[in-house]
Structure 1
């Protein structure tokens, strides 16, 4: 005859015996009447501390991958020190005729900033000597927002000729100047997002404008010189095809306090030593640590094939 199972426990002078108590629990479990048994809480996995290359302790879950060190090129500090030494005399065209030298520092701040913007617009695909001469003619004519808006396109073209793509630049200058007049009270934007919206202004120009005109380092100004030299020195993990791609790669590893220096430093180096064609490798202090240099039998350095240059 089936029915509920009865539990019989004997009393003793000392209460329920240990053996009887265990037996009672077993019977209750068999009858499905035993309450949930409390389990011991599992210990939480401890985080493991690793020491980084900067002597900082990084706590990390043992199940996660160990953080990999940030990529940086081999010998870059030595290469940079050598380039600084070669640029110590500051005798390259960029040193005396670059955008920073073309503006009138005695003019009102908004006029000075407008001149910085125009000098960089003119500098695209143009040698510094040609840009500097065009800026001199413009300043003599009157280089303010109002004076440029009141200048006939044909006259403006004659003032900036023979800068590269001068006809297109006449159009861009007029369009940009009108925007500055209407939207920025004859000043220039103080942020990268608005600068790159202006006709004729690309990322390289915008970063340089932010640095020179606003004293705000927003990124590295990468032109063809910086692009070429970064690839020759292998300052990028793999060969890059455009200056903008080079900029992104450089900013991923180069310390931010060096960003402002890079354009001026490498442009001058590219104008004097690391030329686009027939670079002067024999005179370069990096000849023994430059991946793009090869020593021929007559002790002249020849660069490896690299990306397209100007």
Structure 2
């Protein structure tokens, strides 16, 4: 009797051990598959992990609808409208650069008027270098920080004459080295003047709206921080459009003070609107 029980016990132990080994093998295979998903699996995992704002596609669709009339100041008087389209290419590019330099801390209406006066005066590298500071100041007044911009324009123009054969640089790195030119301007110059989308131009409007719509993973304090955060997730094919789209939206609806939330198609999916 004892011998029979011992034999049964050994048989059960052997079966349990075999079953355990099979289970361990199965688990091992599952772990390996999970840890090494292969090329397609890695791409899918990366895609899943990429952060995107909630409702951003609906936000964008609604903003496009609100901007379809193209009747904001930026549509008529933005940097893409201030240059002489009939001028030689290098002159056109120079005018694009200057219009963006003037636009900092300045409304589009004021920038456009200053550019018109400069063009009537003769807006070329050689002519600007021949123009004294007092006359140049009169031509660009009352753009924001006009006295400082007179110096920036003169210094930058001299560099373009000396180092770029009276044309403008072709890279963001070279553009931001010019006096009075920051990252926002550089990326817009690349897009408008060179038809090269190097990054997103983020001004105060884009910066404000992206934070209001929660288009940045964390709140950003500076436009350059917003640009970096936006470029991490926004599809590249939208980079050129987004500045123009959001600037006009910020000029007409999503105002800095007293945003017109009741008129906004995003009022039900915007955190700012819900608080008002």
TM-score interval (norm. to shorter): 0.7 to 0.9
Question: Do residues 73 (structure 1) and 56 (structure 2) align?
Answer: no
Specify the SS of the correspondent of 1:57.
Answer: helix
Gaps of 5+ in 1: 1-42, 61-65, 296-301, 303-310
**Match of residue 144, structure 1, among 118, 124, 129:** 124
CA distance in structure 1 between the partners assigned to 2:237 and 2:55 by the alignment: 19
- Counterparts of 1:6-25 in structure 2, within 5 Å, are none
**More helix by percentage:** 2
- Paired with 1:47 and 1:203, the residues of 2 have a C-alpha distance of 45
The structural deviation recorded for 1:46 is 4.8
1:139 and 1:82 map into 2 onto residues whose CA distance is: 37
Structure number with larger C-alpha Rg: 1
Aligned counterpart in structure 2 of residue 58 of structure 1, from 17, 28, 41: 41
Change (3 A) 1:59 1:115: closer
- Structure 2 spans left out of the alignment, 5+ residues: 1-27
Deviations 1:40-77 (A, max 9, x none): xxx999554659xxxx82259xxxxx655100000000
Work out the CA distance in 2 between the residues paired with 1:213 and 1:57: 39
Structure 2 residue 164 is the aligned partner of structure 1 residue 181: no
Whether contact under 8 Å (1:210, 1:218) holds in the other structure is: yes
Give the aligned partner of residue 7 of structure 2: none
Is 1:107 equivalent to 2:92 in the alignment? no
Q: 1:200 aligns to what SS in structure 2?
A: coil
Report SS of the residue matched to 2:41.
Answer: strand
Aligned partner of 1:168 among 130, 136, 148: 148
What is the number of equivalent residue pairs in this alignment? 245
TM normalised by structure 2 equals 0.85
Q: CA RMSD in A?
A: 1.9
Bigger strand fraction: 1
TM-score where L is the length of structure 1: 0.76
Instruction: Please give the alpha-carbon distance, in whole angstroms, between the structure 2 residues aligned to 1:97 and 1:293.
Output: 29
